[in-house]
Amino acid sequence: MSPERQYNEQEVAAIFKHAAAGQESAQRQLPQGGGLTLAELEQIGKEAGITPEYIARAAAAVARTGPVMPPTTYLGFPVSVARTVDLPGPLSDEAWDRLVADLRETFQATGEVRHDGSLRQWRNGNLHALIEPTDSGHRLRLRTLNGNARSALVGGLAFFAMNLAFMLVAAASAGMDPGTWLLALLSAMGLGSMGVAAYRLPRWRAERARQMEAIAARAVERAGAPPAALLGMEGGS
């Protein structure tokens, strides 16, 4: 008999977030590198007032997702969001068209549709949606990159460093004259650009994650999942 599956820290967090579905649950931390079985999760959920059936459904929803990939980072800031979900069946042409319409409406972008054999792709700039075959069926991949934030972070740092270098040279040769103070101001503006971009990123990532979660749930439904299987996916993350 194969050992009972254990869920890692990220999966445990996702399971409880899905299972709560509007109920307030306590945050729990696992030992470094540890895991919990489904029975242990159900027991914890029971103590938090969550029915074991909802835990099991949420665990099944998390199991359909692929491994969580680390986000793309620039200067230490995450600037991407991704969502991967295994579909319970293939998407028909009509279901694919509805998915494309859903993507266009959600992200307010027309995008471009491409077909390459069994691969189907919708793309709008840095925003991608891909349906691909797997050994067990089909998978939906969603990914986006915040190009504006990336440019602001990199450009702000370059602007800051360049003007700081000129300012130091000017200060060493002529002291803090008006021109040197101007360079100092421009350096501060570079840091300000980075700060604004960094401040906006968490809200952007949360919104994109919520949108992708909703799109993934509807895609699973269109691919033939029974309504009960969707319970754990509703609500987004």
Within a domain: 176: no
* Bigger pLDDT: 117 vs 226: 117
The pair of three-digit structure tokens given for residue 35, joined into one six-digit string: 């895991």
pTM for the predicted model, two decimal places: 0.58
Into how many domains does the chain fold?
1
Mean predicted lDDT score pLDDT of the chain: 74
Q: What counts of helices (H) and strands (E) characterise the chain?
A: 6, 9
- Is 157 part of any domain? no
Q: Answer whether residue 55 is part of any domain.
A: yes
What's the rounded Cα separation, in Å, for the pair 67 and 86? 11
How confident is residue 234, by pLDDT bands cut at 50, 70 and 90? very low
| Residue 37: domain span | 6-64
CB atoms within 10 A of CB 11: 20
User: Is 32 inside any structural domain?
Assistant: yes
128 within domain boundaries? no
Examine residue 202 and state whether it is found in any structural domain, yes or no: no
* Position 10 pLDDT exceeds 80: no
Q: Give residue-wise pLDDT tens across range 86-128.
A: 888 888 889 999 999 999 999 999 999 998 877 899 999 999 9
For 17-79, list the strands marked E by DSSP. 36-37, 73-74, 77-78
Residue 12 lies in a domain: yes
pLDDT confidence bin for 228, thresholds 50/70/90: very low
The pairing of strands 77-78 and 73-74 is antiparallel
Token output for 111: 């995008």
CB 183 within 8 A of CB 174: no
Residue 227's pLDDT band, with cuts at 50, 70 and 90, is very low
225: pLDDT confidence band, cut at 50, 70 and 90? low
Give the C-alpha separation, 195 to 75, whole Å: 12
Pick from 149, 136, 144: which is nearest to 83 by CA? 144
23 has pLDDT over 80: no
Contact 153, 74 (CB under 8 A): yes
37 within some domain: yes
